[in-house]
Amino acid sequence: MKHFGIGRRVAKTVLMLGCVSAMGVGSLCAQVYTDTLADLTNPSGAYNSLVIGDKTFSHFAYQATDLTSFDPTQIQVSASIDADGVYYLTWSGSVALATLSTAVADLKLDYAVMATGGIIDMIDQSYTGSAQPAGSTFLAVDETASIGTFGGQVVGQSHLTAYDVTDPPAEANDQLNIVPPQTVLYVTKDIGLAAISPPGAFITISRVTQSFHQVPEPGTLLLGSLCGGLLLFARSRRSS
């Protein structure tokens, strides 16, 4: 597997939201770490990653083609965890194609995610955007999750359109379950925008969100079962 370099970034913004009590042991708070896409993809940057909880998001990259609105310094990338322990990665900003003639534009977003507290067994995605006028425009967000490297063996995929803005629910060609579950994934999002015919079109995306779901490492489950069995055995010995 390709070496996964880890750099710890001091996030520009750290937000603590929605703190709740966690079984009487302190509090569990929703947290957000955020930086710009320009910073995270700066080749001279010392730390091009976002670290939150047991997740490290790194290897950020983008490739924009013929968009009429896209500025990486204005695209905010946020890594967050909510009060239920679900992790998210979100891109916020203007991605648009405005044209009076037939045109095609594309934005590719790459990143890698590593989990140290478990193995990722499902991902999902959603976006906020629109394509007008309907019938003469095209908008799609395709995603592949690979192992080893970008473009490696695909273990999960998703396809969203202008009329299908979130997975799950998944369609027949979606594979949102990561089989087998992985500790490291290399993810590519390919956003396609097209005006199929004049007199004009406006296609825009203002937010793309990814969530991650995981289970404990198999060794952790085995250790927990062994500990539970030893505890039960010890109790039975004391009671006999």
Residue 83 binned pLDDT confidence (cut-offs 50, 70, 90)? confident
Two structure tokens written together for 53: 């909880």
Is residue 185 classed as helix, strand or coil in its secondary structure?
strand
- Rounded mean pLDDT of 144-165? 94
The reply to whether 3 falls in a domain is: no
Q: Report yes or no: 143 and 74 within 8 Å, Cβ to Cβ.
A: no
CA distance 125 to 90: 10
Residue 132 has pLDDT above 90, yes or no: yes
The reply to whether 5 falls in a domain is: no
Question: 45: which residues sit within 8 A by CB, 6+ positions away?
Answer: 39
- Mean pLDDT, rounded, of the chain: 82
The reply to whether 54 falls in a domain is: yes
Residue 96 binned pLDDT confidence (cut-offs 50, 70, 90)? very high
Overall number of domains in the chain: 1
In the DSSP assignment, the letter for residue 170 is: P
Residue 101 forms beta bridges with which residues? none
Residue 215 forms beta bridges with which residues? 119
User: What does residue 230 show for φ and ψ, rounded to 5 degrees?
Assistant: -65, -40
Is residue 37 classed as helix, strand or coil in its secondary structure?
helix
Which residue would you say has higher pLDDT here, 152 or 19? 152
Residue 55, domain extent: 13-232
Query: Which pLDDT does position 200 carry in this prediction?
Result: 84
The reply to whether 4 falls in a domain is: no
The reply to whether 167 falls in a domain is: yes
The reply to whether 25 falls in a domain is: yes
Query: Which pLDDT does position 30 carry in this prediction?
Result: 62
The reply to whether 33 falls in a domain is: yes
Query: Which pLDDT does position 130 carry in this prediction?
Result: 94
The reply to whether 118 falls in a domain is: yes
